[in-house]
């Protein structure tokens, strides 16, 4: 390295002679920092999504490379969040890609002491059977005066604050169609 290169590698020299007199930008940047490229630059495509954590529903850009999520950032086009994510939303890539995330359906039978893995279609069938069974067992056609009820007391729904408008709409529609009348949300409790 010549004397000139050595001088230019010195941040104070760059600060005094370059376009960054306060030393808070290019003057303080190391060669390694200059060589870094954001993961967003090499993504194959960007998928629009919504942060799953809370009811604010901040919009997210999900960056995908080789069919893997490589980064999640705020979507500046969102009128709700205008590109911002709180620290929790900014960390949602970990929710998607974290090695501790359970990827398989686990089932523990009544009185069982061990979890067993199920394939998703089997688990969905089991859920559907239980819903129909509870609906039937809790069904009330008429009250003691003969008034029409046509409802089930065997089902209730308690939504969480992470549900967005569209999910709440579908949940309300589904449970009302099933005859449930106890449909609540954590946000009202
Ligand atoms: S980024 Fe934060 S404020 Fe926005 S939806 Fe997610 S958790 Fe809520």
- Residue that wins the pLDDT comparison between 54 and 113: 113
Give the C-alpha separation, 163 to 25, whole Å. Answer: 41
Q: Which residue has the tokens 């992470």?
A: 162
- Give me the residue spans of the domains in the chain: 3-35, 39-97, 102-133, 138-189
Q: What is the pLDDT of residues 144-166, one digit of tens each?
A: 999 999 999 999 999 987 787 88
Whether 1 has a pLDDT exceeding 90, the answer reads no
Helix (H, G, I), strand (E, B) or coil at 27: helix
* Torsion sign, CA atoms 121, 124, 126, 129: negative
Give the C-alpha separation, 135 to 121, whole Å. Answer: 21
Output the CA 157–ligand 1 centroid distance in Å.
24
pLDDT on residue 37? 92
Q: What is the pLDDT of residues 15-74, one digit of tens each?
A: 899 889 998 988 888 889 989 999 899 999 999 999 988 878 899 999 999 999 999 999
pLDDT on residue 4? 78
Determine if ligand 1 sits within 6 Å of the CB of residue 86: yes
- CATH 2.20.25.90, domain 39-97, yes or no: yes
Query: Are 17 and 11 in contact, with CB atoms under 8 Å apart?
Result: no
């Amino acid at each position: 390295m010549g004397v000139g290169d050595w001088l230019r590698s010195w941040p104070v020299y760059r600060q005094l002679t370059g376009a960054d007199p306060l030393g808070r930008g290019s003057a303080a940047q190391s060669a390694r920092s200059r060589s870094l490229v954001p993961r967003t630059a090499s993504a194959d495509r960007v998928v629009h999504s919504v942060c799953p954590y809370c009811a604010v529903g901040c919009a997210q850009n999900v960056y995908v490379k080789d069919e893997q999520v490589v980064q999640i950032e705020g979507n500046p086009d969102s009128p709700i969040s205008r590109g911002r994510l709180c620290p929790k939303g900014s960390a949602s890539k970990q929710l998607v890609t974290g090695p501790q995330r359970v990827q398989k359906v686990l089932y523990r039978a009544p009185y069982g002491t061990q979890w067993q893995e199920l394939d998703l279609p089997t688990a969905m069938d089991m859920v559907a059977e239980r819903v129909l069974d509870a609906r039937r067992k809790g069904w009330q056609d008429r009250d003691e005066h003969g008034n029409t009820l046509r409802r089930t007391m065997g089902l209730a729904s308690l939504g969480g604050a992470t549900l967005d408008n569209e999910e709440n709409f579908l949940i309300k529609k589904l449970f009302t169609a099933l005859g449930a009348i106890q449909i609540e949300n954590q946000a009202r409790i």
